[in-house]
Amino acid sequence: MGQALQDLWYGFGIAFQGHNLMWSFFGVLVGNLIGVLPGMGALSAISILLPLTYTMHPVPAILMLAGIFYGSQYGGAIGAILLNLPSHPPHAVTCLDGYPMTKKGKGGTALGITMICSFFAASVGIIVMIFASPLLTTIAFKFGPAELFSIMLLGLLAGSTMSRGSPLKGVAMTLFGLLCGIVGTDVNSGTFRFAFDIPDLSDGLEMVAVAMGLFGIADFLLNVNKMKAITSNTKMRIRDMRPSMAELKEAFWPMVRGTAVGTLFGAMPGTGPTITTFIAYALEQKVAKDPSRFGTGMIAGVAAPEASAHSKTQVDFIPTMSLGIPGDAVMALLLGALLIQGIQPGPQLITEHPDIFWGLIASFWIGNVILMILNVPLIGVWVKMLAVPYKYLFPSAMFFIAVGVFTTQNSLFHIWEVLAFGIIGAVLMVLDFSVAPIMLGFVLGPMMEENFRRALLLSRGDMMVFMQRPISATFVCISLFLLAAVTWSAWRKRSGVSKVAQAIAQETSDAGVVVAK
């Protein structure tokens, strides 16, 4: 404990050195600016600026890249809340309640809540990272394919029952997402699957294209000529982003729960941030007294997923740094940046390069403070974006989407993907499906198949393997319980409460009219 504090002090010393601080600030600023652009997430921001670090000293290089990372992550939340454009898939969940809040004229508050939650969650994540690294690493080692499959099963079920409307449709959308995830080359056998003989599809569908299509283009297709501006409330000032006491109270427990979920999942390699945010959101919905209000602009629906994403991000650095196992694509890129600098991540990193490890931790804290300071004045600018009439906004956004999707792989082929998913999303939404679970299924699909196959290969085809291992069995039991609860409540709903439902229908359609005006 004392040792850790001393090391941390040393880290702060490193991070506060003039040029390190400067690069950290630069990273956060650029990351934030790029993250706000639709279609440009942390992945594209880091890959664009990676070449810049080749000539730099390793410490400022990694500090800058980390700054870009959480800067763009926060920027992505801005796009998700204000424009319903998740540039980073985890923010897809934030759209569900963040965008309705914006439509109600509470976009500033949503951003303020996000900022507080991300700061709180990141701080907790950092503390966990400092003190609990060894513990979390031992738990992470206990996760075999069976455990990973079961936890993904739980995530998928929680995610699909979370979608609004009938849980059945949510399950259908998750399954559709799984099918989308299968597109491409099978890693085990090299077979092309669902690729329609198109070579560009051999690497699978591009995640950014799928997300931008489903949430961006589909939304424009449905709203064009029907919406004048995203919010009529243009008189938003900096003061509006400071949430009221009541709103803070409403956000507090979701924030704590979201942080806990994120911390827990951060330690498990292979569980990406998307599943984390979905589970955090689903958890809020289960805990809430009135789950049907989710999706109409609940503060909890913004606070919990954002908090979980940020704590997960921080804790994610543990497996990346100490085991050399990246949790997701962004971590893999950071790992690559370290390798380019000639630094081998692994258990010996902390002892061999204490300046990097502890400097990084300290710079997280400083970076998050910078992020807060930066965004207080910038928020006015973001909010102004909403006052732009829809007839100018959507063509510009279409351009940003097109370029953003192109830059992910420098391939124009992705334009077809984003267009296809835009149309698919619009058709599904007209048929009253909710598209968010597609994203979850799509991200988890390949990992889920991989672990399913691996687990059954190890058990020689015995399905009981998922029940024999205690951690796995726990997850499977929770999943079954969830399934039973949903079926039961759906059955009960059908046989009696339709009056209440009609009242809600009346209320939401009224609210819809008000918003449209």
The only residue of 5, 135, 165, 481 in contact with other proteins, by rule CB under 8 A: 165
Nearest-angstrom CA–CA distance, 22 and 279:
36
Out of 88, 91, 106, 169, name the contact with other proteins by CB under 8 A: 169
With binding defined as CB under 8 A, does residue 483 bind other proteins? no
**How many chain residues touch other proteins (CB under 8 A)?**
79
**380 DSSP 8-state letter:** H
418 touches other proteins (CB under 8 A): yes
Applying CB under 8 A, which of residues 292, 344, 348, 468 lies at the interface with other proteins?
A: 292
Taking the complex as a whole, the smallest distance from the CB of residue 1 to other proteins amounts, in Å, to 44
Q: By CB under 8 A, what part of segment 180-219 binds other proteins?
A: 182, 186, 188-189, 191, 193-194, 217
Helix, coil or strand: residue 184: strand
CA distance 356 to 335: 13
Options 5, 22, 339, 430; binder of other proteins; rule CB under 8 A: 430
- Indicate whether 5 belongs to the interface with other proteins (CB under 8 A): no
Does 164 engage in binding with other proteins (CB under 8 A)?
Answer: yes
Asked if 479 touches other proteins (CB under 8 A), the answer is: no
Burial annotation 224-242 (CB, 10 A radius, 16+ → b, else e): eeebeebbebeebeeebbe
Whether residue 205 contacts residue 409, with contact meaning beta carbons closer than 8 Å, is answered with: no
Could you say which of 50, 175, 229, 478 contacts other proteins (CB under 8 A)? 175
Among 220, 317, 357, 382, binds other proteins (CB under 8 A): 220
93 contacts 283 by C-beta, under 8 angstroms: no
Per DSSP, 40 falls in state -
Q: Examine residue 239 and tell whether it contacts other proteins (CB under 8 A).
A: no
User: Binding of other proteins at residue 178 (CB under 8 A)?
Assistant: yes
Region near other proteins per CB under 8 A, out of 20-28, 237-245, 423-431, 470-478: 423-431
- Share of the chain residues as helix, strand and coil, in percent rounded to the nearest 5: 80, 0, 20
Are 226 and 430 spatial neighbours (Cβ–Cβ below 8 Å)?
A: no
- Of 245, 431, 464, 513, the one binding other proteins (CB under 8 A) is 431
**What is the smallest separation between the CB atom of 401 and other proteins, expressed in angstroms?**
9
Burial of 264-296, coded b for 16+ CB within 10 Å and e otherwise, reads bbbbbbbbbbbbbbbbbbbbbbeeeeebebbbb
What are the beta bridge partners of residue 418? none
Comparing CA positions, the residue from 372, 285, 276 lying closest to residue 327 is 276
Site for other proteins in 54-113 (CB under 8 A): 100
Of 33 and 248, CB closest to other proteins: 33
Q: Which of 22/427 has CB closer to other proteins? A: 427
Give the x/- contact pattern for other proteins in 443-462, rule: CB under 8 A: ------x--xx--xx--xx-
**Residue 180 near residue 441, CB atoms below 8 Å:** yes
Site for other proteins in 381-400 (CB under 8 A): 390-392, 394-396, 398-399
